[in-house]
Amino acid sequence: MKTTLIAITVAAAFGASALCALAAEPIQIIEPAVITEPAKVELGKKLFFEPRLSKSGFLSCNSCHNLSLGGVDAIPTSIGHDWQEGPINAPTVLNAKYMLAQFWDGRAADLQEQAAGPIENPKEMAMEHHIALKVLESIPQYQAEFKAIYGEQGISLSTVTDAIAVFEETLVTPNSRFDQYLAGDHDALSAEEKAGYALFKANACSACHNGPAVGGTSYQKMGLVQPFVTDNPAQGRIDVTGKESDRNVFKVPTLRNIELTYPYFHDGSVWDLTEAVKVMQQVQLGLPLSDEEAGKIAAFLKTLTGEQPQITLPILPPSTAETPRPQPFGQ
Amino acid sequence: MKTTLIAITVAAAFGASALCALAAEPIQIIEPAVITEPAKVELGKKLFFEPRLSKSGFLSCNSCHNLSLGGVDAIPTSIGHDWQEGPINAPTVLNAKYMLAQFWDGRAADLQEQAAGPIENPKEMAMEHHIALKVLESIPQYQAEFKAIYGEQGISLSTVTDAIAVFEETLVTPNSRFDQYLAGDHDALSAEEKAGYALFKANACSACHNGPAVGGTSYQKMGLVQPFVTDNPAQGRIDVTGKESDRNVFKVPTLRNIELTYPYFHDGSVWDLTEAVKVMQQVQLGLPLSDEEAGKIAAFLKTLTGEQPQITLPILPPSTAETPRPQPFGQ
């Protein structure tokens, strides 16, 4: 009788559809990549690994979104041109297509818009876009590939970033043990991992970390009930919206492959996954979590490690006499 | 009659066997890699791409010996820890197994000895060996792989560098058009390329650039008859032998894949292959070469580009709580 009353009260408060959603799983299966434009994917892969898109000739997208390391650089903040210290922890490129927007503050609408940023950012690849385009135009093999794929459009910032984005859309990590569990294989998780998943839902982690990427579906304040103490200067989404209410508001990061994408948070301050779970519980919910409970949630989170993209290293076409030369030092 | 006399005179001067050698081809075919220890090659590949062998956690063997770029970094001198400027142009790792020794000055006897150098060099990866070994020991997957391959030896500088060397031995580039020509396909080269090869031999380039790697079989003075003007401080083999006669003496570099391994010479000062040919002719033989002749030799040299190794990017196992953390900045 009491239970029924509570259920009715909850249904009245949230609406019947919300109640159904609560009953469903908050995480959806990651589907394998379906490649419809293989030539464009191959071109985008070359560009992703292309150090000549940087001023130094040394840094590529893969430098900080290393596909050997879960799509990150596994250091607190990234190394840019001239070893400049980046302002924020590099988010993983894996499953990035599921994010509602790109960058921690969501300042790029999609992968294509994102791709243009680090190339020109003076603290990252430090390469003026028009010189990057000259590099590609000077290389006959790139000219031919762009012509074959983009026709009259040829080599432009738009086509370069489109190819990179189309490649990045293939960087998904299906068939994790958790996906197998969602697909009906109840033995895919251990008892501890299942208990961790139950805690993950009961403690409302899944209120923000949901969807196929277990994150990336909303912006949330870091330090919702207690301040998140950091010396990292990033202000979050206020830089995009100008709204004071968006201070310290960041895109919720994906928890897919979280086992690989340490150190954690936008400041890369926490290396241990169990500790990260405890910090989140504290600053977002104001509730302490026992080591045992945090360990169970961490055990569940490790089941989100999926099959990593199998990448055959591209062979990049040689420069020519017309290719603008890299400027690694002192220029 | 006159021809016969000259032939006898030459035979007397060089000896009959040398005359026979002159008649044979100075360049031998590159054979495809034969992999007898696939697990060791896979482990070595992981280590080759492993940035956690560097102090910063950012640099790996592949940073400067980039297998997307012909096994080099394609800049004059390399970028090391904290963006330090390296002292010399990075030699290609491709076909390095054919070199009589490693490094420009031959200070490492073989690939295994070479592999230890850049990890600990404070201007390169800047990682003390004992910490690099701790990193690997802290990661269960590495522990298991080393145990399976090396048994009791486990993880040591010797086994780490052995695995890297065994991987590097597979990095050969067979089946270039020139190899096809050597194998009997006379149509594999154009008339210009054949003329370039004839000039290459007639002008004695092949006196030093010979063997399967078209180099790497001897040490020679850079600037044999005219000084090679450079502001690069490298002194060459004198640093190894202490002999004044070894000043400016370097290992003859391979010309395999020379189309990809610009900029040229130990100082990386020349970007154009035709110009590099002319400089060599001038400083080694004291003879000017016409643009047309140099162009023909360059056309021949481009036929030495072989099939590049097909590398599936390794997926590196995650760090643990025991893994020494990278120190990218300010330490």
Average pLDDT for runs of 10 along chain B of length 331: 41 42 79 97 98 98 98 98 97 98 97 97 98 98 98 98 98 98 97 98 96 98 96 96 98 98 98 98 94 98 98 98 96 59
Strands A249-251 and A219-221: antiparallel
Across A122-136, average pLDDT: 98
Tell me the two tokens of residue A118.
């680090």
Contacts with B223 (C-beta within 8 Å, 6 or more apart), sequence order: B248, B283, B284
| Alpha-carbon torsion angle A313, A315, A321, A325, nearest 10 | 0
Q: Which residues contact B213 (CB under 8 A, 6 or more apart)?
A: B30, B95, B98, B99, B254, B255, B256
Q: What is the spatial distance between Cα B99 and Cα B106, in angstroms, rounded to a whole number?
A: 9
Pairing of strands A219-221, B219-221: unpaired
The C-alpha atoms of residue B70 and residue B273 are separated, in whole angstroms, by 15
The pLDDT of residue B12 is 43
Residue B219 has φ and ψ, to the nearest 5°, of -100, 140
A213-231 average pLDDT score: 97
The reply to whether omega before A263 is within 30° of 0 (cis) is yes
Candidates B50, B124, B169, B293; catalytic one: B124
Q: Which amino acid is at B115?
A: A
Total domains present in chain A: 2
- Indicate which of B47, B56, B60, B83 best probes the interface with A, i.e. most A CBs within 10 Å of its own CB: B83
Q: What is the CATH number of the domain that holds B136?
A: 1.10.760.10
CA dist B206 → B203, B216, B221 (Å): 8, 12, 15
In a domain, A1, yes or no: no
Cβ neighbour number for residue B34 with a 10 Å cutoff: 8
Asked whether the ipTM of the predicted complex exceeds the cut of 0.85, the reply is yes
Closest of B209, B309, B198 to residue B255, by C-alpha = B209
* The domain boundary residue, chosen from A147, A169, A191: A169
**Alpha helices, DSSP H, located in chain A:** 2-14, 16-23, 38-48, 61-64, 111-120, 129-137, 140-150, 157-169, 177-182, 191-202, 238-241, 273-280, 291-301
Q: What is the pLDDT of residue A125?
A: 98
Cα–Cα dist B200/A1, whole Å: 97
Decide if A331 is inside a domain. no
- Determine the pLDDT at residue A12: 43
**Residue A151 shares a structural domain with residue A212:** no
The catalytic residue among A124, A168, A169, A293 is A124
- Do A267 and A234 meet the contact criterion of CB atoms below 8 Å apart? yes
Interface of B with A in 262-281 (CB under 8 A): 262, 271-272
B48 and B154 share one domain: yes
In this structure, of A47-56, A269-278, A322-331, B238-247, the range with the lowest mean pLDDT score is: A322-331
- The Cα–Cα gap between A230 and A312 comes to 39
pLDDT at residue A7 in the model: 41
Pair A135, A182 in one domain:
no
Contact criterion met (CB < 8 Å) for B328 and A74: no
Let me know if residue B5 belongs to a domain: no
B227 shares its domain with B191? yes
Domain extent, residue B112, equals 38-169
pLDDT at A232 over 50: yes
Query: Is A159 in the same domain as A269?
Result: no
Alpha helices of A170-305 — where are they, by DSSP H? 177-182, 191-202, 238-241, 273-280, 291-301
Q: How far is B236 from chain A (nearest CA, A)?
A: 23
Instruction: Tell me what pLDDT residue A331 has.
Output: 59
CA distance A77 to A81: 13
Cβ neighbours of residue A324 closer than 8 Å, sequence gap 6 or more: A131, A134, A135, A138
Residue A64 lies in a domain: yes
- Which residue in the block uniquely carries the two structure tokens 């990651």? A30
Whose CA is closest to A311, among A135, A61, A98, A109?
A61
Record: contact B70-A318, CB cut-off 8 A? yes
Domain-embedded: residue B313: no
Same domain, yes or no, for B137 and B208? no
Contact at 8 Å (CB) between A326 and A52?
A: yes
Tokens of A237: 């989404």
Measure the CA–CA gap between B101 and B110, rounded to whole angstroms: 5
Q: Contact A48/A61 with Cβ under 8 angstroms?
A: yes
Is A144 in the same domain as A58?
A: yes
Beta-carbon contacts of residue A124 (< 8 Å; ≥ 6 apart): A59, A64, A78, A80, A81, A86, A117, A118
Q: Are A124 and A78 in contact (CB under 8 A)?
A: yes
Q: How far apart are CA A259 and CA A138, in angstroms?
A: 41
User: Could you tell me which of B218, B217, B212 has the C-alpha nearest to residue B306?
Assistant: B212
Please give the Cα distance from A292 to A298 (Å, whole number): 10
Mean pLDDT of A48-53: 98
User: Do both A184 and A81 map to the same domain?
Assistant: no
Residue A325: closest CA among chain B residues belongs to which residue? B75
Query: Tokens 């990234």, residue?
Result: A78
Judging contacts by C-beta atoms under 8 Å, the chain B residues touching residue A67 are: 313
pLDDT of residue B160: 98
| DSSP designation for B88 | S
In 3D space, the residue among B75, B83, B36 whose CA is nearest the CA of residue B56 turns out to be B83
Given a cut of 50, is residue A47 above it in pLDDT?
Answer: yes
Helix A291-301 vs helix A191-202: angle between axes, to the nearest 10 degrees? 100
Nearest Cα to Cα of residue B125 among B82, B185, B159, B182: B82
Helix axes B291-301, B273-280, angle to 10 degrees: 110
CA distance A69 to chain B (A): 6
B120 and B70, same domain (yes or no): yes
The dihedral through the CA atoms of B157, B162, B163, B165 has a sign that is positive
What one-letter code names the amino acid at A21? A
Q: What does the pLDDT read at residue A2?
A: 43
Give A126's contacts in chain B (Cβ within 8 Å).
none
Distance CA B173, CA B311 (A): 13
Provide the token pair at A329.
């030092």
pLDDT reported for residue A4: 40
> Would the CA dihedral through B257, B110, B67, A325 be positive or negative?
negative
A197 and A252 inside one domain: yes
Q: Which chain B residues have a beta carbon less than 8 Å from that of A73?
A: 51, 57-58
Q: Is residue A2 part of a domain?
A: no
Residues B130 and B218 in one domain: no
User: Which residues are within 8 A (CB) of B3 and not within 5 positions of it... i.e. 6 or more apart?
Assistant: none
In the DSSP assignment, the letter for residue B54 is S
> Can you tell me the distance from the alpha carbon of A254 to that of A71, in angstroms, rounded to the nearest whole number?
12
Work out the widest C-alpha separation in chain B, in whole angstroms.
84
Domain end point (choices A169, A190, A224): A169
Q: Which residues of A touch B311 (CB under 8 A)?
A: 312-313
Question: Catalytic site residue B124?
Answer: yes
Please, what is the average pLDDT of chain A?
Answer: 93
Chain B environment of A262 (Cβ under 8 Å): 318-319
Q: Which of A261, A264, A260, A267 is nearest to A278 (CA)?
A: A264
Eight-state DSSP code of residue A155: S
CA distance B118 to B104: 13
Note whether B318 contacts A: Cβ–Cβ < 8 A. yes
Structural domain includes residue B2: no
Q: Which of B115, B78, B109 is nearest to B93 (CA)?
A: B115
Closest of A14, A29, A39 to residue A145, by C-alpha: A39
A313 belongs to a structural domain: no
Q: What percent of chain A has pLDDT over 90?
A: 92
With an 8 Å Cβ cutoff, are B328 and A79 in contact?
Answer: yes
The last residue of one of the domains, among B128, B147, B169, is B169
Do B162 and B183 reside in the same domain of the chain? no
Beta strands in B92-246 (DSSP E): 219-221
